[in-house]
Amino acid sequence: MDKIEFSREEREIMIQKVKFYFREEMHQEIGNFDAEFLIDFFAGEMGGFFYNRGLYDAETMISEKVSEISDLLLQLEKPVSIGNKT
């Protein structure tokens, strides 16, 4: 899997969220560098787990939709008969 990349705007939002979490939940102040380091760590070490879960969830959703479409198509079938009935 390629390295997960985020835009500068996305990274800034994540940095602020990490800093907020540390401040509110752990009663610790951390700087931008430490928050960004944690984001890089989690992205590199655990990002694949989240990415794969997203793929599995998308595959499940797509399978469900394909099944629904298949059912709808079957409802469109016309009755047919074999042989010459008059």
- Whether the Cβ atoms of residue 18 and residue 39 lie closer than 8 Å to each other: yes
Q: Locate tokens 């793929």: which residue?
A: 55
pTM equals 0.69
Q: Give pLDDT, residue 73.
A: 95
CA angle, 59 as apex, 55 and 62 as ends, to 5°? 135
- Whether the Cβ atoms of residue 26 and residue 38 lie closer than 8 Å to each other: no
Residue 59 lies in a domain: yes
Number of domains in the chain: 1
Confidence band for 85, pLDDT divided at 50, 70 and 90 = low
Residue 60 lies in a domain: yes
Confidence band for 1, pLDDT divided at 50, 70 and 90 = low
Residue 12 lies in a domain: yes
- Whether the Cβ atoms of residue 48 and residue 2 lie closer than 8 Å to each other: no
Residue 84 lies in a domain: no
Residue 23 lies in a domain: yes
Q: Which domain holds residue 19?
A: 8-74
Which pair of structure tokens corresponds to residue 50? Answer: 């989240």
Q: 27-70 pLDDT, tens per residue?
A: 999 999 999 999 999 999 999 999 999 999 999 999 999 999 99
Residue 27 lies in a domain: yes
Higher pLDDT pick, 81 / 31: 31
Q: Quick one: which of 4, 1, 27 has its CA closest to 14?
A: 4
